[in-house]
Amino acid sequence: MNVTKLFFYSAIILSFIACTTEVISEYEPSGIGGGDVDSSNSNNGNSSGFTSFTTEVTSEGIMLRGSTLAYKLAWLDRNAESHKTYIVEINANENIASYTFQYSGAIDITVILRGDGVNRTIRLNTNATMFTVKSNVTLILDNNITLYGHSGNTGNMVDINGGTLKMNDGSTITGNITYGGVYVISGTFEMTGGTISGNGRSTSFMGGGVDNRGTFTMSGGTISGNNASTGGGVYSNGTFTMSGGTISSNNASEKGGGVYINSGTFAMRGGTIMSNTAVNYGGGVYRSGGTFTKTGGTITGYSNDPDNGNVVKDEGGNVFARRGHAVYVSDNKRKETTAGVDVNLSTDGSGGWDE
């Protein structure tokens, strides 16, 4: 190889490295931005009272490392650009104030929240919705991230208002005992993994795990142990498609222990709905309005599976017949036994409804 070619190829390699590994450092006074670090599990402080913050351009996007989450979110407010992906690496358990993912004048922005190799917990330091996702923004809850609410809170953990939320394996939304997990006002929620558990309350509340008024697709993950008066796991007024994952052990003090369909559509093509409880009707699924079709997946029923079946029973443990342990649409369109993968159901009357 001659000298000219050697210099040419060397220039290309150096140019590529410069474009993919650019690192910019800043320093931030500790505690800026309305959040604070849980000192019992922190590794990002130093004795000077300042915290190192870096950005690194990678093949996945722009990585934000160091500093507090509050500072990184403030940095996004100042610097986020259209058509860019930002990976916000969380390196300590933190308490933060409510935050809205909205960047006026910019479009197609993706923000990924991810723990730095171990699980990191983000808690609210006030009564409010933790995160609101507006139009032109996609928020991805990735591996090693837990959003943790608290008893007496007055907001959901995440409100989707025009934007998109995605949950991947290793993410958790939990502990919001008096309010909900995810509220889809408008926009899209895609659940491919993760867990939504321990949210909601049993009186005058809809959708302990998820309250959907937009589009909700569930292909994986688990929604369990949530509470509401209607729709212990999921309450839907929009479009809900389930192709995988599990909705289990949720409770409704009235109807729809697993899922309550008020309007819109619920298409079940896979996944499992099991071990949910309602007091009045529809242990697994209750349909008030809209359309329900099942072409795959499994909805268990107490009548032939008392151990894992969805069930309708009162607070005293008294089990009720003819209330739709698995699914309830009407008195003559209900399912008390398990509807397995080979049992199709539809609100148009077709399928394997119990007599």
- Which residues pair with residue 52 across a beta bridge? 27
Task: Read off the pLDDT of residues 54-77 as tens digits, 9 standing for 90 and up.
Answer: 999 999 999 999 889 999 999 999
- What pLDDT digit, counting tens, does each position of 63-122 carry? 999 889 999 999 999 999 999 999 999 999 999 999 999 999 999 999 999 999 999 999
Structure tokens at 237: 């007024």
Largest CA distance in the chain: 88
What CA–CA distances, in Å, run from 52 to 115, 130, 185?
17, 25, 37
H-state helical runs in the chain: 3-20, 69-79
- Which residues are within 8 A (CB) of 331 and not within 5 positions of it... i.e. 6 or more apart? 322
Both tokens of 138, joined, read: 């996609």
Rounded distance, CA 300 to CA 309, Å? 5
pLDDT tens track for 149-202: 999 999 999 999 999 999 999 999 999 999 999 999 999 999 999 999 999 998
Contact 217, 225 (CB under 8 A): no
pLDDT grade, residue 331 (50/70/90)?
A: confident
